[in-house]
Amino acid sequence: MAMKRPTASDADGIDALTRRAAATPGLIQLGGGLPSEAQFPRADLADSFLRVLTKQGAPALQYGWPEGLESLRRRIAERLAERGLRGLTAADVIVTNGAQQAIALATQVLAGSGQSVAVDAQSYPSALDLFASHGLRRLPLTSPERAHFSYVMPAVTNPGGGTMTKVARAALLARRRPVIEDDAYGDLLFAGPAPAPLAASDPKRVFFVGTFSKTLCPGLRVGWLIVPPRWRRRALRLKQAADLQSNSLAQAVVDDYLARHDFERRLPVLRRFYRRRAERLASAVRRAIPSWRFELPAGGFGVWIETDAAVDERRFLQAAVEERVSFDPGTGFEAWPTRGPTTLRLCFSLARPTEFEEATRRLARAWRRAARGAPHAGRAREGTLRRSRWIAAPTSPAPAP
Ligand SMILES: Cc1ncc(COP(=O)(O)O)c(C=O)c1O
């Protein structure tokens, strides 16, 4: 079974347990943040592979430019112009190896030693790891101290699946500092399309990051970075130094796929698909472990959960793997150490909804075993979750049609 995301908690053996979970037969995976295989357009991608491989001159097997395939960049620019990035052209787009490389390039451009980055209290673990590798000090997004730059997910946050408030967006722009806007889940806002990106309001300071990993498939590793003009040459030099260019074959396949299929019509289907799963998982958790707090996500692949006891998460994950279910321990997402109840992310994206009841029963058994004797953090109901005041309270989405 596929896995990803070694977390900042590796030293605690979480990574070893996660890998063990992946190799456990019959385990139901509620961790990892992987898209559903059922949504990979396999036959269409196979057609595109064949077509680009047999094309005259085989450009898909040849070297390309560091910024990427022009026709693919044009398609990305056209899509983003529709989202509000007016006037964007192919020349503004760098095709990257997924959103991860786009964040890495933007960070490399912006980071200097001893500098700081503003992040939400819970954030994307591989970005947090990246910032740590640059020696960046983390500051709360809401801190009055001004960080050198910020990293945010305004449309759909990971892990919470929330959306940044208008007030927060305005406050961030008013700081007039660079921002990395990670829109990895932007197309999967359930009530989408997502609002105009921050980059539409301040294209001189906002680096915009996107990806086909969540809406097409992550294996091709095709993402993009829009760099404000004054940093563009530097970003391109760094991209070339890192890997010369993104994979020609993967770019050609995505380009061919986009030329032949209506990607925009695919998105509402995906949003409905994942929203239904979010609702099914939420109901299953409510039934199996009513004392856990969470909010229905507005988009993305996961539900962020606060339990009602402070339990060693390694012990909990070990018990869960023994019960043949997995989850993402919360500390990997926490930007700074916090006291309080154990937290976790449960993903509804990969496992089948028919498995959710069984998965949450297993999780409840593991939780009871792990929490035996742990200090109780008080019983609370859904809706009282601690949440950044920069993230909007979810408005209960209408039932998926
Ligand atoms: C918020 C966020 N940003 C970026 C990425 C990286 O995506 P990609 O597969 O395009 O590198 C992920 C992957 O899980 C993510 O959750």
Each residue's pLDDT tens digit, 81-131? 999 999 999 999 999 999 999 999 999 999 987 899 999 999 999 999 999
Say how many Å lie between the CA of residue 291 and the centre of ligand 1: 30
Mutate to test the pocket of ligand 1, among 120, 211, 391 (most ligand atoms within 8 A of CB): 211
The ranges of the chain with pLDDT < 50 are 1-9, 11, 379-383, 397-401
Residue of the CA atom closest to atom 12 of ligand 1:
184
Q: Which residues have a Cβ under 8 Å from the Cβ of 293 and sit 6 or more positions away?
A: 305, 306, 307, 308, 380, 381, 382, 383, 384, 385
> In the structure, which protein residues have their CB atom closer than 6 angstroms to any atom of ligand 1?
33, 98-100, 124, 153, 158, 182, 184, 211, 213, 218, 223
Atom of ligand 1 nearest to the CA of 100: 11
Q: Which residue has the tokens 């742990």?
A: 374
Atom of ligand 1 nearest to the CA of 102: 11
The overall pTM is greater than 0.85: yes
What is the C-alpha separation between 303 and 223, in angstroms, rounded?
Answer: 24
Atom of ligand 1 nearest to the CA of 212: 10
Say how many Å lie between the CA of residue 2 and the centre of ligand 1: 15
Atom of ligand 1 nearest to the CA of 103: 4
Say how many Å lie between the CA of residue 184 and the centre of ligand 1: 6
Burial of residue 353 (CB within 10 Å: 0-12, 13-18, 19+) is middle
Residue 384 has what pLDDT? Answer: 53
Atom of ligand 1 nearest to the CA of 33: 14
What is the C-alpha separation between 234 and 256, in angstroms, rounded?
Answer: 29
Q: Transcribe 6-72 into DSSP letters.
A: --TTGGGTHHHHHHHHHTSTT-EE--S-PPPGGGS-HHHHHHHHHHHHTSTT-GGGS---TT--HHH
Mutate to test the pocket of ligand 1, among 214, 220, 345, 349 (most ligand atoms within 8 A of CB): 214
Residue 338 has what pLDDT? Answer: 84
Which helix or strand (DSSP H or E) is residue 280 part of? helix 263-288
Residue 15 has what pLDDT? Answer: 87
CA nearest neighbour of 177 among 149, 139, 156 = 149
Q: How far is CA 396 from the centre of its chain?
A: 22
What's the longest Cα–Cα distance across the chain?
68
Q: Which residues have a Cβ under 8 Å from the Cβ of 124 and sit 6 or more positions away?
A: 153, 158, 159, 182, 184, 333
Residue of the CA atom closest to atom 3 of ligand 1:
184
What is the C-alpha separation between 55 and 37, in angstroms, rounded?
Answer: 28
Atom of ligand 1 nearest to the CA of 211: 10
